[in-house]
Amino acid sequence: MPRSFNNSGSKFMTSVAQRPSAHLTLRDTGSQGFPPYLTPGLHQSCRHVVRTWANQSFGAHLHNMTLSNGKLRVPQDGRYYLYSQVYFRYPSPAASDGDQRSVSHQLVQCVYKKTSYPSPIQLLKGVGTKCWAPDAEYALHSVYQGGLFELRAGDELFVSVSSPTMVNADDSSSYFGAFRLDL
């Protein structure tokens, strides 16, 4: 549908300024990972909700959206692009009972939406499995995913992971966000 703009472009700027968006980073809680919060109704491989998102680091923002207990609330109906990246830090094999075999973990990250429906609805799921050499001090692996979804006002979006103690809290490596597209 065509849009009309005045010469100054102020109608366009007003539209962009009101568009809901968020870019959140994982807040460092001072310990490795974050407290594990098991949530009923989530798939077993991805049942620990990440609740320590914040909008206080450089580049992070929360505009016309709200954040509560790790959940991002959608203010308006529309098409939203959702994205999330979580960095996982593998522990050193030497630190885990002296086991000299290679370490392998399945790392899972999911993005859900909570609606009036009793169970959360899984929107995205990313999986990574890596095997590291026994002499590796540590290793990092990121799981990124994003997609376009039709959302309703009041929907709540959240990220869950398989291994909360392996999540690496760093502003530029673990993040979660959404923005509404005007199509």
Q: What residue ranges define each of the domains in the chain, with the CATH number in brackets?
A: 10-181 (2.60.120.40)
Instruction: Give tens-digit pLDDT for 54-89.
Output: 888 888 999 999 999 999 999 999 999 999 999 988
Quick one: what percent of the chain has pLDDT higher than 70? 70
Q: Are 66 and 22 in contact (CB under 8 A)?
A: no
What is the mean predicted confidence (pLDDT) over 2-25? Answer: 61
Pick from 2, 3, 52: which is nearest to 170 by CA? Answer: 52
Instruction: Give tens-digit pLDDT for 7-18.
Output: 444 444 445 568
Q: How far apart are CA 149 and CA 79, in angstroms?
A: 5
What is the mean predicted confidence (pLDDT) over 140-158? Answer: 94
Q: How far apart are CA 64 and CA 125, in angstroms?
A: 26
Q: pTM for this one? A: 0.79
pLDDT band at 163 (very low <50, low <70, confident <90, very high): confident
Q: Is the pLDDT of residue 152 over 80?
A: yes
pLDDT number for residue 101: 46
